[in-house]
A and B are shown apart, each in its own frame.
Chain A
Amino acid sequence: MTDMDARTSKERLRSQRAALADFGLFAFRCEKIDELLHRAAELVSDAMGVPLVKVLEHHPARSEMLLRSGVNWEPGVVGHETFGDYERSPGGYALAAEQPVVSSDLDAEERFDVPEVLLRHGVKSMVNVVIAGDAAPFGVLEVDAREKRDFSEDDVAFLRTYANLLAAAIERVRTHDELHRTAREQGVLARELGHRVKNLLGLVRALASQTSTQGRNAKEYRAAFIDRLQALSTAESLVFESSGERVDPLTLANEILSPYRQDDPGKIAIRGASIDIDSRQARMFGLVLHELATNAAKYGALSVPTGHVGLDWHLETSDGDIRRLAMTWREQDGPAITPPERKGFGTRLLEDVVAFELNGTAELVYGPDGLRYDLTFPAAEA
């Protein structure tokens, strides 16, 4: 090695170290992958004294390597040119080799074929190093010289260090992007939750204002309101616990009606299919069962020892394949009943509100052998 060579080599080492330091600073501020890759190519080109530098991004699904970034290439090459990732391509070979691949004379290269775009740019020698990734390598950093060049061990070591630094920076940007995306999603979820809570408070207010004070003392009013709130909250809890906001009416019925069945489940015989309905339907279904049961316990079949109730539901498919849930509540062996003189919240809910909310039909029949309630509504599959 001549003095001249020694000095050049020393200078190159110094400029390579400077390039690493520069890139290190840049990499930890940069938030865009393309800016990162471009700066990396620029600095490598300067530090190595090689004009043509490129970053190939591996796309395993397409068996392809995209020339994602680079410097000093003809227009239309960067961002467009692709190579196969098979072993006869320089990038593919480097990926498989898992260590730097040096080719000091491409004319004599036998391990892989030289792509047309490199020939066109007059590339005579090259070094390729893998850019690692979290799960799989990101791709390959390639340095292409226009002369036959014996790349030194220091050159290769520099590129290796550089590629590792680049890999870490790419991971950092990707993680950063991922965090941003998650934060955005969390924001949307929080907004939806806020909306839902306010709506629910609106419902609670409606339950309070529509629970009549007529004929009730304060204690009775409070009990009636809290019972309704409890039914609403049971339905809401099931919605929150369920996956995809679907609820099984059987679970709901068992929960809501449990106070009336704990001594004797036969008091209310539940014969319903285990299916799923959406959150809004579940809320109504829960409120309906609660009103029916409290009413029966006060005035109907559940107010006397002999009385009992049959609760059935099943799915019907008719009217052009629309799936409908048909439910019947039938009270038997209870006292004689008469329609109420005044329509209170219960009646309003069972007839008006439910039919409206569920887009279905609801009918209360005060029969000679007890109350009967029929409800049908469209229950689309999830």
Chain B
Amino acid sequence: MPNDPTRELSDRRILVVEDERLIALDIRDILEEWGCVVLGPVATAAAALELVANDRPDCAVLDVQLASGTSEPIAAVLRADGCPFLILTAYQRGHLTGALQDAPMLSKPVDETKLRQALMSLLPANMSR
């Protein structure tokens, strides 16, 4: 599919952190449709950090408010590790703190076009597969 704009995303490993299960499955379906390999979805910072420790993603999609705490600790680890991430939240920019503060942000409900564009701009195009 030479003209498929999402081909850049195929086989990319994307961590998904979202505690609302229906929304998590929605995001997983979208990413898998583009050929991504989804890590998770997980609902807690602890589960996400465990995943990241064993399996480095190429990028991550983080919800902010999780059932237990926020995804700030994940953001901090990903940043230290040089792993790009974006935030998908129902909150506004002004309510973000710490490592979440200046990350690329998309508003819920997820807009597939914007999500694809954001992921493509975060992932280096010439990354070796």
Contact = CB atoms under 8 A, between A and B. Distances in A.
Same complex origin of A and B: yes
B76 interface: no
A189 to B, nearest CB: 14
B21 to A, nearest CB: 4
Shortest 5 CB-CB contacts between residues of A and residues of B: A198-B90, A206-B26, A205-B109, A206-B22, A202-B109
Interface of A: 191, 194-199, 201-207, 209-210, 348-349, 352-353, 356-357
B95 interface: yes
Contact of B22 (A191, A194, A195, A207): A207
B29 interface: yes
Contacts of B110: 202, 205
B23 interface: yes
A333 B23 CA distance: 36
Interface of B: 20-23, 25-26, 29-30, 43, 65, 90-92, 95, 107-110
A209 B21 contact: no
Nearest to A209: B26
Nearest to A199: B90
16 contacts: A191-B92, A195-B65, A199-B20, A199-B23, A201-B108, A202-B108, A206-B22, A206-B26, A209-B26, A209-B29, A210-B29, A348-B25, A352-B25, A353-B25, A356-B43, A357-B22
B109 A201 contact: yes
Contacts of A197: 90
A353 B21 contact: yes
B43 A210 contact: no
Nearest to A359: B67
A201 B23 CA distance: 10
Contacts of A194: 90, 92
A198 to B, nearest CB: 4
A69 B128 CA distance: 74
Contacts of A202: 20, 23, 26, 90, 108-110
Contact of A203 (B20, B29, B65): B20
Nearest to B26: A206
B23 A191 contact: no
A195 B89 CA distance: 9
B28 to A, nearest CB: 10
Given A196-B90, A357-B21, 15 more contacts: A195-B91, A198-B109, A199-B23, A199-B90, A201-B108, A201-B109, A202-B20, A202-B109, A202-B110, A203-B20, A205-B110, A206-B22, A206-B25, A210-B22, A357-B20
